[in-house]
A and B are shown apart, each in its own frame.
Chain A
Amino acid sequence: SQTIHQWPATLVQPVGSPLSLECTVEGTSNPNLYWYRQAAGRGLQLLFYSVGIGQISSEVPQNLSASRPQDRQFILSSKKLLLSDSGFYLCAWRPNRLAREQFFGPGTRLTVL
C-alpha cells in the first residue's frame, strides 16, 4: 500500500534562517507531487507541483523553492524565512497523471519567530 511521510512534524525557526521540509512517498512510482500551505483560516494554497524528477512548477512567487531529487522525494526550501512563512505545510500526491484522487500527508507545522 502507498504511504506518504512528512518530516519534521513541527518546526520552530527564527526569522532569516533556512528551511528544508521533506516529503517522501512509498509504494508507488512516478507520482505527481504537490506542496500546499495552509495559514490560519483553513484555505489550501498550492505552492509547487511536480510531474517528474527535476520538473517543478511554481504557482506562487515567493521566497520558497522546491526540488525533486528522486522520484518519490519532494523538498520545500527557503534560504531566509519570513514571519509570513509560518503555517501548516502539506505535501500531497497523485498516483499518476491518469489518477483522479489526490492524497495528503500528515503535514508540518512551521512557526517562524
Chain B
Amino acid sequence: GENVEQHPSTLSVQEGDSAVIKCTYSDSASNYFPWYKQELGKGPQLIIDIRSNVGEKKDQRIAVTLNKTAKHFSLHITETQPEDSAVYFCAASNYPGSYIPTFGRGTSLIVHP
C-alpha cells in the first residue's frame, strides 16, 4: 500500500518568513495530492491540491510543488502570518482507483509574531 512520510513534525518561523513542508510517497500510481490545514479543535480544511500532470500550483501565499520522478511534493507558505499557525497534513491518493487517501503524520507550524 501507499506510505506517506511528512517532515518536519514541527516548524517554528518568524512572521514574514517562508515555511516549507515536505512529503514523500511510495506508490507511483498515486496521482492526487491534497494539503489540509487543521486549526486547534477543528476538522482539517482542504487548502490546496495538485494533480500528477502538474508540477506546481499557486494560490496567493501558498504553493505546492510535485516531483513525480522523485515521488515528493512540498507545501510552500510565503510571508507567514500568525493565523497560519496550525497543523498541516499532506496526503496521496490514486484517483479514481482508490477511495482512500493516505495521510502524512502532520506538521505543527508555529508562526511567532
Q: How many chain-B residues does the 8 Å CB contact rule pick out?
A: 24
B25 at the interface (CB under 8 A from A): no
Shortest beta-carbon distance, A45 to chain B, in Å? Answer: 9
A26-68 to B contact mask, C-beta < 8 Å, 1/0: 0000001000000001111010010100000001000000000
Interface of A is mostly: loop
A42 adjacent to B105 (CB under 8 Å) = yes
Which B residues are in CB contact (< 8 Å) with A42? 38, 87, 105-106, 108
- In angstroms, Cα B41 to Cα A109, docked, is 8
Q: Which of A32, A105, A106 contacts B99 (CB 8 A)?
A: A32
B61-108 contacts to A, CB under 8 A, are 87, 89, 93, 95-96, 99-101, 103, 105-106, 108
**Residues of A at under 8 Å CB distance from B?**
32, 41-44, 46, 49, 51, 59, 90, 92, 94, 97-98, 100-107, 109
